[in-house]
Amino acid sequence: MTHMLTCPCGWTVISPQGENDVKKHIVIHLQDTHPGTSMTEEEIKRIIKFI
* pTM as predicted: 0.86
H/E run at residue 3: strand 3-6
pLDDT band, very low/low/confident/very high, at 31 (cuts 50, 70, 90): very high
| CA dist., res. 51 & res. 36, Å (int) | 30
Structural contact between residues 50 and 1, judged by C-beta atoms closer than 8 angstroms: yes
Cβ neighbour number for residue 13 with a 10 Å cutoff: 18
Kindly tell me if the per-residue pLDDT of 1 is higher than 90: no
Q: What is the pLDDT of residue 47?
A: 94
